[in-house]
Amino acid sequence: MIKKYNNISLAFGIPGLIVQTFGVISQITIISLVGAVLLIVGLGYYAKSKGRHPAWCLLGLLSILGIIILALLQDKSSETGTQDIRPFTKILLVLFILIILALIGIAMMAGN
């Protein structure tokens, strides 16, 4: 994995996911769209960090399913020095993130 692009992907993707979630919960379309664009840009850099074409970011249009598919793609980058995470560990990590997002969503809905 190319660390430079991975860091950029986190810088765009995490705020994008947060902004998009806030926009959906508050039902403000423009905020949701801004969050979606940030997330898609972040996914493009994530694909690039794995040695893939940035167009793989379009999997983000499939919502969480696309993000999971992108996370599980094999790393084709030529950068060495980083070990690829085992597939089972990736799946557990994705499930953990999904549970956290679900709990945040439930907490936000309960607050309304």
pLDDT 10s digit of each residue in the chain, 112 long? 888 898 889 899 888 888 888 888 888 889 889 988 999 999 999 999 999 999 999 988 887 778 888 888 888 887 655 555 566 666 776 777 777 777 777 777 776 6
Task: Please report where in the chains the tokens 């969503």 appear, as a residue.
Answer: 105
d(CA 64, CA 84): 22
Provide the whole-model pTM: 0.70
Written as six digits, the tokens of 13 are 């993707």
Contact yes or no for 51/33 (Cβ under 8 A):
no
The answer to whether the beta carbons of residues 42 and 9 sit under 8 Å apart is yes
DSSP character at residue 51: T
Cα-Cα end-to-end distance for the chain: 41
